[in-house]
Amino acid sequence: MPSEPMRNVASIVTLFGPSPQCNPSGGAMFAPVVRALMRVPTLLLLASTHAFGAGTHCLPHESVAFSCSLAVSKVVSVCFAKASNAKPATLFYRFGRLGAPELVFPESPAGSLQRFRYAHYFRYQVDRTELNFSNAGVEYSVFDDYDGEERPKYARGVRVTANGKEHELLCKRDVASHLKELAALVPCDAESGLTLDGCK
């Protein structure tokens, strides 16, 4: 059975009828138009994939520090905006379906940077970064881990610890990670296992 785009092209040809300039080899005056129409669905698909394939919760004026799609069909994003025009820098964690986040932390932009804690550890073949915060007695840790001796080498996502139980949600696709850009903006987490040598 022909595809929808092919049926559409066939309908167009039927509607306008054969060109009076058709030749025995099958060429027609409208052949370039038909070929262009056949390419339209592919071009639209590519455009939509580029525009929406890596959707985040970040607003137009914000930059993405971290964002990915999780196995639970939801998106986790960390979004920041640098200070400009007398506006203070801001940092937000958002989790949920695109357009309808279930959790936004903190609720207010005022002092938002100080609500988070940053931790980083590096040695040969290992590079681990965390952005941690507490909300209503629950601990959250957005992490980006690299271990050259493990398979897979990368592990990214968010860990949630409540009532002594840890749950880990791993990124599945559309991963954007720039957590290290927050190192100079967010207080160091002296209590993290990644900062064994202390905050520097």
- pTM for this prediction: 0.71
- Find out whether 112 and 128 touch, Cβ atoms under 8 Å: no
Band (8; pLDDT cuts 50, 70, 90): very low
* pLDDT digit string, tens, across residues 54-95: 589 999 999 999 999 998 889 999 999 988 877 889 999 999
Other C-beta atoms closer than 10 Å to the C-beta of 17 total 7
| pLDDT, mean of residues 10-14 | 33
Cα 92 from Cα 113, distance rounded (Å): 8
- Find out whether 106 and 112 touch, Cβ atoms under 8 Å: yes
